[in-house]
Structure 1
């Protein structure tokens, strides 16, 4: 690495240590009262928005393994936010359905996330928020291409 790039690297490390590593906590906080991670909330959200969702649907959409999603769904089932219903034509196929408690948890968490996001937009402005989003999207795309 060129010596002139060292201050830039140091600045990136400083931003990570003092900001980015806390982003997950910032995003996850609205779901904590319901003992859910942000990933678990996103799964619950998907199930409340769509009908006839299966574990494999979620795994395919997120491009992760079935076992990774299964672990998250087990928590949602155990906490009473989801239930499973067999397909009438193929009893081996299980649909995931939100329970009344799951529907309410998703609604409350969604409202909290919306307020938190709006606060972020209020601070930075919509144009700056779009610039930040575009940078993150570009960064993600370049990172995926290099894998």
Structure 2
């Protein structure tokens, strides 16, 4: 019987790297989403709140760039967070066409609530996958989603 930790096709040169990453992302999102469920946020929604908190009040363009999302996908993902009162948008003072995204008081509280659950999911992932392997995975993935990698790949 094959081990759960070593799929048989990983060395097959015909296996698409992109498809493998998407599968892994979907699986990990399922696991984190299940852990975050009690607070009512998905992993994707929490990620938006985290990115907004880190940036202060980014423009939609800045936030989309930081999240490696196109603006239309970001706009669709922000709508439920605005509806629920966790985010607000306001015009950018320097450019009437741009919008800035900000956490509301409720958004900060929801993010704080989600942090405890997220830490639980993160800890569990590192227990199962291994702390050192998890750290190395984050480094490798950061290289892949970097602007430098996109430029080297030929897709700026």
- If the length of structure 2 is used for normalisation, what is the TM-score? 0.65
Map 1:73-92 to 2 at 5 A: 73-92=78-97
- Does structure 2 conserve the Cα–Cα contact (< 8 Å) formed by 1:30 and 1:109? no
- Does structure 1 conserve the Cα–Cα contact (< 8 Å) formed by 2:91 and 2:98? yes
- Aligned residue for 1:127? 132
- C-alpha deviation, 1:128, in angstroms: 4.1
Aligned pair count reads: 135
The equivalent position to 1:137 in structure 2, one of 141, 145, 154, is 141
Give the structure with the higher percent helix: 1
Give the root-mean-square deviation of aligned CA atoms. 3.5
- If the length of structure 1 is used for normalisation, what is the TM-score? 0.68
Deviation per CA, 1:6-62: give whole Å up to 9, x if none: x9339x9xxx9xx95643211112433343321121111111122231211122223
**In structure 2, distance between residues paired with 1:119 and 1:9:** 26
Equivalent residue of 1:8, what SS?
coil
Is there any run of 5+ residues in structure 2 with no aligned partner, and where? 1-6, 13-19
**In structure 2, distance between residues paired with 1:37 and 1:105:** 12
Is 2:67 aligned against 1:43? no
**In structure 2, distance between residues paired with 1:89 and 1:69:** 21
- Aligned residue for 1:9? 9
Is there any run of 5+ residues in structure 1 with no aligned partner, and where? 1-6
- Does structure 2 conserve the Cα–Cα contact (< 8 Å) formed by 1:81 and 1:100? yes
**In structure 2, distance between residues paired with 1:124 and 1:87:** 43
Equivalent residue of 1:36, what SS?
coil
